[in-house]
Amino acid sequence: MIYILYLFFFGFLLTAVIGLFGSWIDRKLTARLQYRVGPPLLQPLFDILKLLKKETLVPFGASKATFLAAPMIGLVSVMVVSTVLWVNNVDSQNTFMGDLIVVVYFLLVPSISIIMGGFASGNPLASLGASRELKLILSYELPFILAVLVAVIHADFSLRLGDILATQAKNGVIAVSWSGGLALLITMICMQGKLALVPFDTPEAETEIAHGVLIEYSGPLLAVYRLMKNMLFFALPFFIIIIYLGGLRGHGLHLLYGALEYVGIVALITVIRNTNPRLRIDQVLRFFWGPMTVLAIIAVLLALGNY
C-alpha cells in the first residue's frame, strides 16, 4: 500500500505539478526571447484540462488497442522513474540493487510509447515520425549510457542511486570533476534528444510532417501525451541533479539551491531550443555517434583515472 501511495504522490502528483511549472518556465522564457508576453502561470494546466474535455477520435484502420494503450504506457513509465528518484532523494538508504538500471530503462519507455502510438495510428506521416523517433533513440542512447557510467565509476562501480548520492555527500558532487563535468554536458545534450526538442525535434517536426507521431491523437489521449512530456520536464532534470549534482535537499538554503539548479537546467533547455536550427535525422545520427560518443568515451576514461 505504501508503494502505491509513493507512486501516486511522488510519481504522479508532485512530478506533474513541478513538470507543469517547468513547462511554463520554458514557454514564458521562449516568449521573452521572442519579445512576447507569454502565457500565465496556469496555462499548461489549462491546456491539459481543455484536451480532457474534447472527443477522442480513433482513425480508421488503426490498431485500436495499441493506439489507446500507448499514451498510458508512457505516462506510467515516467511515474515509475519519478517515484524511484524521489524515494532515493528522500531516503538514500531505502534503495535496491540496480535501481539505476531501472531508471535508465524506464526513461526509454516514453519514447517507445510514442513509437507504438505513431505506428498504430496507420497514418503515413505518423509512421514517418515514429521511424525518426526510433532512429533518434538509437543515436543518443549510447552516449547517454556512457555518460551515466561515469557516475557509476565514481561510486565504486555501484548501480545503486543511493550509493551515488552517498558518494557525492562524502566527496563532493561529481560535476566538479573533469569526467563528471564532461558527462554532465553530454547528458544535458542527450536530454534534449529524449525530450525531442530543437535541434533534435525531427519526430514531431510540425513544418515537415504536421506534428509527426502525434498527428492522429486528440482529446484525453493527447492530454496524456502532453502530461507525460511535462512530467519528463521534471524527471530528466531531476535525474541529472541526482546523478551529478548531489540531489535535492528539502531544508533551508539547500532547498533554494536545488530549486535554482532545476530552473537553471530548464532555462538552458529553452535557450538551446530557441537558438538552434532543426537537424536532419542523418545529421542527428552523425552528431551522437560521432563527437558525442567520443566525448563520452573520454569521460569514462577520465573517470577510470580518477579525474
Domain boundary assignment for the chain = 2-304
Match 530528466 to its residue by C-alpha cell: 236
Predicted confidence (pLDDT) at residue 73 exceeds the cutoff of 90: yes
Predicted confidence (pLDDT) at residue 221 exceeds the cutoff of 70: yes
Q: How far apart are CA 247 and CA 241, in angstroms?
A: 5
Q: At what angle do helices 219-244 and 178-194 cross, to 10 degrees?
A: 180
Spatial CA neighbour of 101 closest among 194, 164, 181, 166:
164
Asked if 56 and 218 count as a contact pair (C-beta separation under 8 A), the reply is: yes
- The pLDDT tens digits of the residues spanning 166-205 come to 999 999 999 999 999 999 999 999 999 999 998 998 887 7
pTM for the whole thing? 0.94
Q: Determine the residue type at 296.
A: A
Give the pLDDT confidence score for residue 255 in this predicted structure.
79
Q: How far apart are CA 145 and CA 136, in angstroms?
A: 14
Spatial CA neighbour of 226 closest among 61, 60, 114, 59:
114
Spatial CA neighbour of 51 closest among 225, 258, 294:
225
Asked if 68 and 58 count as a contact pair (C-beta separation under 8 A), the reply is: yes
Spatial CA neighbour of 82 closest among 34, 36, 16, 132:
16
Transcribe 42-55 into DSSP letters: THHHHHHHHHHTSP
Grid cell, residue 27, equals 514557454
Q: Which of 10-19, 88-97, 128-137, 233-242 has the lowest mean pLDDT?
A: 88-97
- The pLDDT tens digits of the residues spanning 103-153 come to 999 999 999 999 999 999 989 888 988 999 999 999 999 999 999 999 999
